[in-house]
Amino acid sequence: MFFKAKSVDTEHLESELDRLKAKVRAFSLFDEDDYLDANPDVRKAVQDGAYKDGLTHFRNVGLKEGRFPGYGSFNWELYLSSHDDLAHFKKESDPEAIARRHFREAGYREGRTFS
């Protein structure tokens, strides 16, 4: 007996895979202190008892809102080495601060990696 294979919507699967990769990436970067420092409204909501902690907020709301998760697994040296257009930051007086700021303000949303 032969079964006819159902057609697979590869575009949908690729889109779903990209979404899951972004989610894994965001959670690998999550850092409670960074997240609360960057989001005073969340810090207040946690203090007021609206959320158990920053991670709960990030999981339920922040990820959907596109909030920056923090620098958990971020390696600034690899980040600069992985992107030719950022290599000139290595010559600055504080390349780590510049790399972190760039990642927070642009690189994270652009999906830039650091490996």
Residue by residue, pLDDT tens for the chain (115 residues) are 566 656 777 888 888 888 888 888 888 899 999 999 999 999 999 999 999 999 999 999 999 999 999 999 899 999 999 999 999 999 999 999 999 999 999 999 898 988 6
In a domain, 8, yes or no: no
Same domain, residue pair 32 and 45: yes
DSSP 5: P
Give the domain range for residue 25.
18-72
DSSP 7: P
- The reported pLDDT for the residue numbered 115 is 65
Same domain, residue pair 23 and 63: yes
Q: Yes or no: say if 51 and 32 are a contact pair by the CB < 8 Å rule.
A: no
Residue 45: which of 34, 56, 29 has the closest Cα? 56
- The reported pLDDT for the residue numbered 21 is 87
Q: 3-class DSSP state for residue 8?
A: coil
- The reported pLDDT for the residue numbered 110 is 92
DSSP 60: I
Give, in order, the Cα–Cα distances in Å from 54 to each of 35, 76, 83.
7, 23, 30
